[in-house]
Amino acid sequence: MKSNKTTVLEAIRVAMEAENDAHNFYSRAAQKTENPRGRDMFSQLADFEKNHFLHLKDLYDSIKAEGKWISYPGTTFSAKGKKIRTGLTPSGGVGTQVDDLDALSMAIKEERKAQEYYRNMADETSDHLGKDMFKKLAREEELHERILNDQYYSLNNNGVWTWGE
């Protein structure tokens, strides 16, 4: 990534917007699905994306104020029933006509885009902390895609949610 601070900040801002949008999408999907397993999965994904947003915001603030990259510890799924508090409000994303399979399909496509974006950012970043952070984010988005693909397959072919089994 170019050393130009403005370019770096813009790239991080774009990633923050995407994470916020993903959080909102998953929050709405959790509200729309009637299945408790689907609700839990979408809720945890919303929390995951919110955590990404918060870490990216910390990075943005650090680079803007001090020109320093920060370490990213990674994010893991919470134990069932233990939720990360969210500071973001759910809005937009899943329309009333969208069913669970549509939500899963849209989410899979967005997770692929996020992976690609973070891989590109890792390739373009010379700072080792930045490179590490973006690689971890790409791997986490890849995990999301695998989870969503598994759920899509199960729901589409067997008519059941398998999340949490």
What pLDDT shows up at residue 83? Answer: 33
- Give the side-chain half-sphere CA count within 13 A for 153: 6
d(CA 117, CA 22): 14
* CATH superfamily placement of domain 5-71+99-158: Ferritin, core subunit, four-helix bundle (1.20.1260.10)
Cβ(89)–Cβ(31) under 8 Å? Answer: no
Domain extents for the chain? 5-71+99-158
Single-letter code of the amino acid located at 43: S
What's the CA angle centered on 111, arms 158 and 71, to 5 degrees?
Answer: 130
Q: From first to last of its 165 residues, what are the pLDDT tens digits of the chain?
A: 444 676 889 999 999 999 999 999 999 999 999 899 999 999 999 999 999 999 999 999 999 999 999 998 887 766 443 333 333 333 444 433 248 999 999 999 999 999 999 999 999 988 999 999 999 999 999 999 999 999 999 988 888 888 887
d(CA 44, CA 76): 10
